[in-house]
């Protein structure tokens, strides 16, 4: 059976994943829209930056974030200047890290979905007197719905599964930064394999079910590209 600490970790994990996914959809949608429409010749540089977490060891990302979050790092200084909470070893820091780490899982499906919508439906909407904002919400978003589903599920699932970044920037504070993957690691370290099975099995099943849902509901989209 899961322990009380496990349930606390579950709560932190779900809260983190939900918040990170929300922030990612809010930031990722305009970014993906812009990437799908722009003819800027250097857009591939930005695409590479977005895709970086796919190939970078999470500990590398975590390390740089830790430096940036520190009292002398740029983000740490910024937060201190605006009177915000410290980022290192805090839930807020974890949220920032998760957003960066899961960025490609949200931006790429959205970008592909927007690209698949094409220009024509938006041109039609323009000739039917829909303003650019109106076109975006009344045509682009509904037609890109499969992409939003994929982005939401992948962003959420990937945040639930992160480990390296959390370990580097969040530490292991129960109720604040201790997430499921860290709790699992603790169980294994403590040779509590029974508890480890509960968490691993649960995560495996949940992840599998989420992917089944995504692939089953929209077969048209590639889920990720390197």
Contact footprint for other proteins (CB under 8 A)? 120-121, 123-132, 134-135, 138-139, 142-143, 145
Smallest separation, CB 110 to other proteins (Å): 16
Based on CB atoms, which residue is closest to other proteins, 135 or 195? 135
In angstroms, rounded to a whole number, what is the distance separating the alpha carbons of residues 185 and 195? 10
Q: Are 109 and 142 in contact (CB under 8 A)?
A: no
- In this complex, which beta carbon is closest to other proteins, that of residue 78 or of residue 128? 128
* Spatial distance between the Cα atoms of 123 and 213, rounded to a whole number of angstroms: 33
The C-alpha atoms of residue 29 and residue 120 are separated, in whole angstroms, by 20
Quick one: 129 or 222, whose CB is closer to other proteins? Answer: 129
Smallest distance, other proteins to C-beta of residue 114, A: 14
Task: Work out the burial of residue 155: count CB atoms within 10 Å of its CB; fewer than 13 is exposed, 13-18 middle, 19 or more buried.
Answer: buried
Q: How far is the CB of 145 from other proteins (least distance, A)?
A: 8
Distances (CA, A) of 46 to 36, 42, 50, 145, 186: 12, 7, 6, 24, 37
**Cβ proximity to other proteins, 54 vs 130, nearer residue:** 130
To other proteins, the closest distance from the beta carbon of 105 in angstroms equals 24
Closer Cβ to other proteins, 99 or 141, answer by number:
141
Q: How far is the CB of 217 from other proteins (least distance, A)?
A: 15
Supply the minimum distance, in Å, between the C-beta of residue 218 and other proteins: 14
Read off φ and ψ for residue 222, nearest 5 degrees: -70, 140
The nearer residue to other proteins, 91 or 148, going by C-beta atoms, is: 148
Report DSSP letters for 6-59, one per residue: HHHHHHHHHHHHHHHHHHHHHHHHHHHHHHHH---TTHHHHHHHHHHHHHS-HH
């Amino acid at each position: 059976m899961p322990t009380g600490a496990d349930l606390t970790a579950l709560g932190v994990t779900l809260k983190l994943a939900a918040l990170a996914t929300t922030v990612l959809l809010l930031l990722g949608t305009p970014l993906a829209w812009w990437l799908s429409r722009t003819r800027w010749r250097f857009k591939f540089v930005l695409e590479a930056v977005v895709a970086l977490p796919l190939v970078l060891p999470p500990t590398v990302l975590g390390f740089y974030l830790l430096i940036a979050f520190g009292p002398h790092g740029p983000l740490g200084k910024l937060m201190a200047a605006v009177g915000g909470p410290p980022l290192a070893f805090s839930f807020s820091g974890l949220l920032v890290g998760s957003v960066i780490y899961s960025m490609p899982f949200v931006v790429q499906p959205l970008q592909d979905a927007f690209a698949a919508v094409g220009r024509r439906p938006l041109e039609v909407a323009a000739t039917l007197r829909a303003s650019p904002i109106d076109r975006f919400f009344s045509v682009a978003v509904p037609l890109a719905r499969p992409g939003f589903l994929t982005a939401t599920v992948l962003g959420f699932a990937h945040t639930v599964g992160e480990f390296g970044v959390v370990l580097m920037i969040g530490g292991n504070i129960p109720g604040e930064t201790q997430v499921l993957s860290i709790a699992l690691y603790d169980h294994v370290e403590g040779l509590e394999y029974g508890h480890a099975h509960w968490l691993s099995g649960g995560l495996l099943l949940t992840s599998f079910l989420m992917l089944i849902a995504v692939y089953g509901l929209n077969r048209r989209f590639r889920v990720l590209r390197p």
